[in-house]
Amino acid sequence: MKIALAQLNYHIGNFSSNVQKMIRSIREAENSGADLVVFAELGISGYPPRDFLEFDDFINRCHLALEDIAPHCKKVAAIVGVPTYNKDGKGKPLYNSAAFIANGKVQKFIHKSLLPNYDVFDEYRYFEPNKRFEIIEFQDRKIALTICEDLWNVQDNPLYTVNPMDELMALKPDLMINIAASPFNYHQIEIRTEILRRNAEKYKLPLFYVNHVGAQTELIFDGGSLVMNAKGEIMEELKYFDEDLKIVEVDDIQNGKASTQNEKKLVIGMIHDALVMGIRNYFEKLGFKKAIIGLSGGIDSALTAALASEALGPENVYNVLMPSEFSSAHSVKDAIELAENLQMPYDKISIEEAYSAFESTLKPYFQNLPFNIAEENIQARIRGVLLMALSNKFGYILLNTSNKSEAAVGYSTLYGDMNGGLSVLGDVYKTQVFELAQYINREKEVIPHHIITKPPSAELRPDQKDTDSLPEYDILDEILYQYIEKRLGPKEIIAMGFEEKLVQRILKLVNTSEYKRYQTPPILRVSSKAFGMGRRMPIVGKYLS
């Protein structure tokens, strides 16, 4: 039996596009002699459909889409992820299901048992967990079909009290198929492979695993669908960050004939590829082509522009330089050098006239109080107004350039440099920003050397440096990582050797900046704990603040 693994980039709610892609894959699989083609979890709707699932109209459209696909599955069977109604009269209204289609008709629905409800996942919000375990019989083989999280309960301190594969083993399956929607983070590929390996080893069965690829706003799916033999060895692997289709003979896997694998990539390279796809898909799926970026001469905007240039083409990245009296001599020169290196269009627009106007308008109300954060923010907000005006006039999407370290401690201006349709670096710590810049320069100097080596500064008052009020970034980022990703408390972080007062000040900054992050653009998620939908904090909370 030949199984086709179809790894597609779906678009949430775009049924016609999703169905077309799936039919194309069915045809391709059929032409290549496949018996069964497997698509990812909730492929019909795209993942995550979120509260669209609360609309009967949306569920009906999912079912109409399934009906459009079924007639194409006459010569080749298919497994298609789709939400279905729970008809028991109690429990949550839906199941997260896999339709097994053969002979042009849906033969059976298999429902997901373990529903992730942590970090970015909200599946228990919509779905009832399955409690009846069934097997798919097809061409004299018994298939244990599970959906994503169903295979993930093999860790210590398991999160769930049942284990679907344990139940299915009683039905003596010959192989496992798992359809997934497993988003990228830079630890995830390793963890995911290990989890799949544990299943193959524990149940001594080959495993066919099909994941999503592509970005849906902040969530980035890296693909990496694969086939493992019963020893947990990867026999076949699909591309990362791109659509792919591969056909695998089940007997070959069982006989242990290994195939090619993806070249192992550096973590920083994976983050780079994820961000590029994240930008590209955001624009494509919203129907936009062109980005606008405020290019300061600093490393964050430089890196954002370089990534956008790769994602959208340099001609589609319009850079605006808006220096002020506090900008260093090098800022404009560095920014222009970057734009020219990449052949991106740019303009230099002065903020002086608008700043003078605000200064004069506010003079009677500011009561000769000294220059402070208010004036600093006015500069950042004028830049925001200029960028948004150009965005509105010409249909650019403004890309936000704030990094995760800044976003964490609130060192950015709401309605100023926090503006944007999408935050490219909001899940990338400053130390990783430097690494990414070096990665982009790995073959030639794209980002001018001076941008990477000069001390970071917001340039909102004379001779300002980030280190005036923050520790060095390697220290700051480590404290932030322990608090944000690892959820350690102050005592535990201090016990690691960091200065007590510093730790308390940093954690307080993080918690009191929650109100700012609430209004931040969606952030491309590349870590195990990004700001946004996966980190839900009270604003009026008084903890550590």
Catalytic residues: 41, 112, 148
Residue the block writes with tokens 């042009």: 104
Token pair for 507: 């954690």
State which of residues 373, 438, 472, 499 lies at the interface with a second copy (CB under 8 A).
373
386 binds a second copy (CB under 8 A): yes
Q: Which CB, 91 or 104, lies closer to a second copy? A: 91
Q: Give residues 431-460 in contact with a second copy (rule: CB under 8 A).
A: none
**How far apart, in Å, do the first and last CA atoms of the chain sit?**
61
Task: List alpha helices for 153-243, DSSP H.
Answer: 164-169, 188-203
Tell me the C-alpha distance between 281 and 426, whole Å.
17
What string of DSSP letters covers 85-121? E--SSSS-SEEEEEEEEETTEEEEEEE------STT-
Q: How far is the CB of 207 from a second copy (least distance, A)?
A: 23
Q: How far is the CB of 146 from a second copy (least distance, A)?
A: 19
Q: Give residues 252-291 in contact with a second copy (rule: CB under 8 A).
A: 281-282, 285-286
Q: Give residues 163-222 in contact with a second copy (rule: CB under 8 A).
A: 215-217
71 binds a second copy (CB under 8 A): no
Q: Which CB, 500 or 518, lies closer to a second copy? A: 518
Q: Which CB, 89 or 497, lies closer to a second copy? A: 89
Token pair for 94: 């839906």
The full 3-state SS of 247-275, as one line of letters, equals EEEHHHHHCCCCCCCCCCCCHHHHHHHHH
- Cβ neighbours of residue 537 closer than 8 Å, sequence gap 6 or more: 511, 514
What string of DSSP letters covers 202-216? HHT--EEEE--EEEE
Kindly calculate the radius of gyration of the chain based on its CA atoms and give it in whole angstroms.
26
244-249 and 234-237: which strand pairing?
Answer: unpaired
Q: What is the crossing angle of helices 500-512 and 473-484, to 10°?
A: 60
- Cβ neighbours of residue 369 closer than 8 Å, sequence gap 6 or more: none
State which of residues 2, 3, 6, 11 lies at the interface with a second copy (CB under 8 A).
11
Judged by CB under 8 A, the number of residues near a second copy is 98
Site track 121-140 with a second copy (rule: CB under 8 A), x = hit: -x-xx---------------
Q: Give residues 280-339 in contact with a second copy (rule: CB under 8 A).
A: 281-282, 285-286
Q: Which CB, 315 or 472, lies closer to a second copy? A: 315
- Cβ-count burial of 443 within 10 angstroms (0-12 exposed, 13-18 middle, 19+ buried)? exposed
Q: How far is the CB of 341 from a second copy (least distance, A)?
A: 23
538 binds a second copy (CB under 8 A): yes
* Helices and strands per DSSP (H, E), number in the chain: 17, 19
468 binds a second copy (CB under 8 A): no
Q: How far is the CB of 160 from a second copy (least distance, A)?
A: 7
91 binds a second copy (CB under 8 A): yes
Q: How far is the CB of 190 from a second copy (least distance, A)?
A: 22
366 binds a second copy (CB under 8 A): yes
160 binds a second copy (CB under 8 A): yes
Q: How far is the CB of 278 from a second copy (least distance, A)?
A: 11
Q: Give residues 389-418 in contact with a second copy (rule: CB under 8 A).
A: 389-390, 392-393, 414-415
Tell me the C-alpha distance between 215 and 205, whole Å.
31
SS3 percent helix, strand, coil of the chain, rounded to 5, is 40, 20, 40
Stretch that binds a second copy, among 294-302, 309-317, 329-337, 379-387 (CB under 8 A): 379-387
Residue the block writes with tokens 């700012």: 516
Q: Which CB, 52 or 100, lies closer to a second copy? A: 52
Stretch that binds a second copy, among 25-33, 189-197, 445-453, 537-545 (CB under 8 A): 537-545
Stretch that binds a second copy, among 170-178, 256-264, 348-356, 466-474 (CB under 8 A): 348-356
* Three-state DSSP state, 176: strand
Q: Which CB, 13 or 314, lies closer to a second copy? A: 13
498 binds a second copy (CB under 8 A): no
Q: How far is the CB of 326 from a second copy (least distance, A)?
A: 17
* Closest to 276 measured CA to CA, from 471, 70, 93, 428: 428
Dihedral angle sign, alpha carbons of residues 412, 418, 424, 427: positive
Q: Which CB, 342 or 510, lies closer to a second copy? A: 510
542 binds a second copy (CB under 8 A): yes
Stretch that binds a second copy, among 23-31, 134-142, 197-205, 515-523 (CB under 8 A): 515-523
Site track 23-62 with a second copy (rule: CB under 8 A), x = hit: -----------------------x-xxxxx-xxxxx-xx-
Q: What is the crossing angle of helices 352-366 and 373-394, to 10°?
A: 140
Stretch that binds a second copy, among 13-21, 24-32, 436-444, 470-478 (CB under 8 A): 13-21
* Closest to 491 measured CA to CA, from 453, 544, 448: 544
Q: Which CB, 54 or 500, lies closer to a second copy? A: 54
Q: Which CB, 100 or 221, lies closer to a second copy? A: 221
* Closest to 173 measured CA to CA, from 205, 210, 209: 205
**Residue 447 to residues 19, 90, 271, 314, 440: CA-CA distances in angstroms?**
41, 58, 17, 14, 8
87 binds a second copy (CB under 8 A): no
496 binds a second copy (CB under 8 A): no
Helix or strand (DSSP H, E) at 505: helix 500-512
Q: Which CB, 124 or 190, lies closer to a second copy? A: 124
518 binds a second copy (CB under 8 A): yes
Nearest 5°: the CA angle 150, 156, 158 is: 40
